[in-house]
Amino acid sequence: MRTRGLGISTVASAVLLVGTVLVSAPAAASGTFSDDDGSVHEGAIEAIAAAGITIGCNPPTNTKYCPDRPVTRAEMATFLARALDLEVVVPPLPPPPPPPPTGSAVTFAAAGDLGAETSTAAVLGHIGRSEAEFLLALGDLSYNQITPESSWCSWVRSNLGASLPVQMAVGNHEHDHGSDGSWDKFAQCLPDAMSSTGNYPAQYFFDLQGTVRMIVVSAGLTIDGHPYTYESGSADAEWLTAAIRSARTSGIEWVVVGTHKPCISVGKKSCEPDRHLTDLAVSEGVDLMLHGHDHNYQRTHQLSCISVDSFSPACVSDADGNHRAGDGTVLVVSAAVRDTSLYAVSGSDSEAGYFADSMGANSVDSGAGYVEVTATPDSLIVEFIGVTTNHSDAFEIRK
């Protein structure tokens, strides 16, 4: 439509066309708009306003009409459609955006045996500045270096940041028979932030973005009078088996189990919780196990079974650090937070053949750090992040 060819250049001239040619209505009384008084188009403006074809230019009051403002092609089309009582074609709404994928990326940090030392503050500060969405504290929390429990939690928050969630596992220092604080008081100042299923903080799980099921258990510990054991046929073993299997049937890509005490180690600790938990996790195809307790960093190859106090090469399903999902379980100890209290690691340990990497008090570049886990629907990437050490390690499990 060439409105300029019709001599229509302003709102008022467009109104004159509609009001005098198309509406065929007498001019209405003046007074609707304050800025058309004395205009030669005032009668037409008032007429089409009275007919419901136009409104003012300053909503919501619409007391002005702006008669000398240039008219647009769109406005002219609206004038004509209303004046001719044409059916207005409403274009279809754009399709809604696609739903988010059922699984998306998630990153979290894991570390145990924290205390309240200079290196602890450095590690917590590093985690707080990282991409981690929460910290999994793998037990042995304060060592009574700050008391009471609530004061230690406040100190953690002052270094980590006030908003980053901390999910706790119970360690031997705070279980029923521990001497460095009480698990229930720690749980009061580190409450469940993940809407978990189960009995926080002793035995529970939560799902992350439909990508990871994080299961926390307390093998070899007594909490609220209950000794947690994962021997075949026990109630705890049945609970854990159901938690693992329901993750798989729900389409969750990765299953991670966190617990304080490891079973195999090249450090100071022996298989204190007995082997039942590790046997169950490996047999059920858990992708990753995270531990504290041994005051160092350790990482196994991908394992399809274990033997305690000996090495069985047949249990190593993959040893190159680029693992295929479903071929076994990787066991990690992340307890190198207090760099003044590290335990040594030994390459001649009877279980050393299971291990791909370790760092402890006797390592060339020992120091504090933590583990960071990044999960996508296609991969699980696990890294040791050195904070007071240059030691680094990483591996990946891919679908």
What DSSP letter does each residue of 88-117 carry, written as one string?
PPPPPPPPPPPPPPSS--EEEEEE----SS
Using alpha carbons, select from 303, 344, 358, 359 the residue that is nearest to residue 326: 303
Q: Where in the chain do CATH 3.60.21.10 domains reside?
A: 106-398
Per-residue confidence band for 37, with pLDDT thresholds at 50, 70 and 90: confident
Q: What is the pLDDT of residue 21?
A: 52
Question: pLDDT: is 216 or 83 the higher one?
Answer: 216
Own/partner contacts of 76-82, CB < 8 Å, gap of 24 or more, are 76/1, 76/3, 76/8, 76/14, 77/1, 79/14, 79/15, 79/18, 79/48, 79/53, 79/54, 80/18, 80/22, 82/52, 82/53, 82/54
Q: What is the pLDDT of residue 122?
A: 98
Looking at the domain covering 106-398, what would its CATH class be?
alpha beta
Per-residue confidence band for 344, with pLDDT thresholds at 50, 70 and 90: very high
- Residue 194 is encoded by which pair of tokens? 């993940």
pLDDT > 90? residue 65: no
Tens digit of each residue's pLDDT (9 = 90 or more) over 99-113: 445 557 999 999 999
- What phi and psi, each to the nearest 5 degrees, are found at residue 322? -120, 90
pLDDT > 90? residue 318: yes
Q: What is the pLDDT of residue 100?
A: 45
Mean pLDDT for the stretch of residues 79-105? 60
- Residue 212 is encoded by which pair of tokens? 């990871």
Do residues 205 and 255 touch, judged by C-beta distance below 8 A? no
Which residues 6+ apart lie within 8 Å of 334 measured at CB?
Answer: 110, 111, 112, 138, 290, 291, 292, 297, 370, 371, 384
Q: What is the pLDDT of residue 3?
A: 46
Tens digit of each residue's pLDDT (9 = 90 or more) over 6-27: 455 665 666 556 555 555 545 5
Per-residue confidence band for 73, with pLDDT thresholds at 50, 70 and 90: low
- Residue 195 is encoded by which pair of tokens? 């809407």
Q: What is the pTM of this model?
A: 0.76
Q: What is the pLDDT of residue 241?
A: 99
Mean pLDDT for the stretch of residues 60-71? 74
Q: What is the pLDDT of residue 125?
A: 98
pLDDT > 70? residue 97: no
- What phi and psi, each to the nearest 5 degrees, are found at residue 23? -80, -35
Report d(CA 356, CA 330) in Å as an integer: 10
Average pLDDT, the chain: 89
Q: What is the pLDDT of residue 22?
A: 54
- What phi and psi, each to the nearest 5 degrees, are found at residue 154? -65, -40
What kind and span of H or E run contains 358? strand 355-359
Q: What is the pLDDT of residue 38?
A: 72
User: For 1-5, 124-128, 143-147, which range has the lowest pLDDT when averaged over its residues?
Assistant: 1-5
Looking at the chain, the whole-number percentage of residues with pLDDT higher than 70 is 82
